[in-house]
Amino acid sequence: MPVWVQVAYLVCAVGFILALKGLSGPRTARTGNLIGAVAAVVGCAIPFFYLDLHHVPLILAAIVVGAAGGFVGARRVQMTQMPQMVALFNGVGGGAAALVALLELRELVAADEFAGSVPWFTLLATAFTILVGSVSFAGSVITFLKLQELMTSRPVVFPGLPVVFGLGLLAAVVLAVVTVVNPAEPVGVVLALVGLLIGVLLVLPVGGADVPIVISLLNAFTGLTVAAGGYVLGNTLLLVAGTLVGASGTFLTRLMASAMGRSVANILFGALKGGSTLGAGEASDRPVRSAGPEDVAILLEYADRVIVVPGYGLAVAQAQHTLRELVDVLGEKGVKVDYAIHPVAGRMPGHMNVLLAEAQVPYEQLVEMDDINGDFKNTDVVVVVGANDVVNPAAKTTPGAPIYGMPILNADEAQQIVFLKRSMRPGFAGIENELLFDPKTTLLFGDAKETLGKLLNAVKAL
């Protein structure tokens, strides 16, 4: 590898590190994303200038098709569908790594037969890439189907699932050992098929609000496969990039699991003993106190302190701009308003931060759960817009509930609670929220964008 190529790869690797650092904050996220994209394009272009590549027209055609698909997807996918797109793109990455490893296995087998000089660790890394890449691909497809509601979001279990899953893991270990001891392309293909089965069985029992955490875990899997593939191919840039993704994905998974108050193992296998969040549920017919926009406007007009709790319903209604305008009007009237951000609100990490940043909400108004939970007891009105599980007291009061032990926003401690809901259907965890029936709670029914528009007009009229 020429020196200039090594230097270029080093610069690209530094670009990936700077991109990850930039993505850690909303002010620098756009710049960080741009740096990462440029580094990726340069890294992909370099091999064309120093390698004697075969089938260049096919490679270029594949790049054009992939770039076109990515561009159209990024432009057309709604904010509410972003988690599905992330899952799908992540799965494609894992599947690509597995396919590259299968092709590399063919080369390694030929080299081993010719010279018998292939190191065992290289074969082990190849087997790892095939297996984990296949797991990531299949698992990501299932998470996409669940989030897109092309299949039920509830946990899917069947008698003998743990046994089949265990046998799949055992078969994967045996096949990986065979790949190292006596490498053969058919063994690699079977290993990939076993990985696909493990990926499906890993995600099927996961339901409801646990799915975004699994996306983060599978993202870490894909990063590790890319890193292992970089080792097999002798490509330092892939090794660095994969390690960054694997490490950050693992760290994010642990943080999200902590925010749910549960272990990763419980999230993955909790449904086998009734511990996973459930997914869809039936609408309640219990009586609640409801009001119109004018009544809620009066409540907000006389408040000194208001906290807004955004959730997935806000993203579905695309009501973030109307909500920001309402908060701005309240601020002009002397009301102090902040947004309380739960770590797992929405369908992916940072979903609410991105949604509100899109509406140009000042970052200073976005307050994380740990920093704002102590303020609820001194708050006049909490306005919950499209959220449910993240304010459900069952997480603190109902042992055995799917979300029991999950840290929540203490909305129940406020003087008054206003829920903007489309219907009485439960949240993504599939359980009823007792806070809806609290005497302090008022419900404002309807589409969030339309309801907030009416509420905004009512507040302006006072």
**Active site (annotated) includes residue 389:** yes
Nearest to 347 by CA among 211, 158, 185: 211
CB 312 within 8 A of CB 355: no
* CB neighbour class for 29 (10 Å; exposed up to 12, middle 13-18, buried from 19): middle
Backbone φ, ψ for residue 209 (5° rounding) = -70, -5
Distances from the Cα of 357 to the Cαs of 29, 30, 318, 333, 351, in angstroms? 11, 12, 13, 23, 10
Distance CA 288, CA 251 (A): 41
Nearest to 408 by CA among 435, 373, 363, 378: 373
Selected catalytic residue, list 338, 389, 412, 438: 389
Residue 334 is encoded by which pair of tokens?
A: 């002397």
Distance CA 320, CA 329 (A): 14
CA angle 296, 302, 304 (to 5 degrees): 115
CA angle 343, 346, 350 (to 5 degrees): 50
Q: Which residues are catalytic?
A: 389
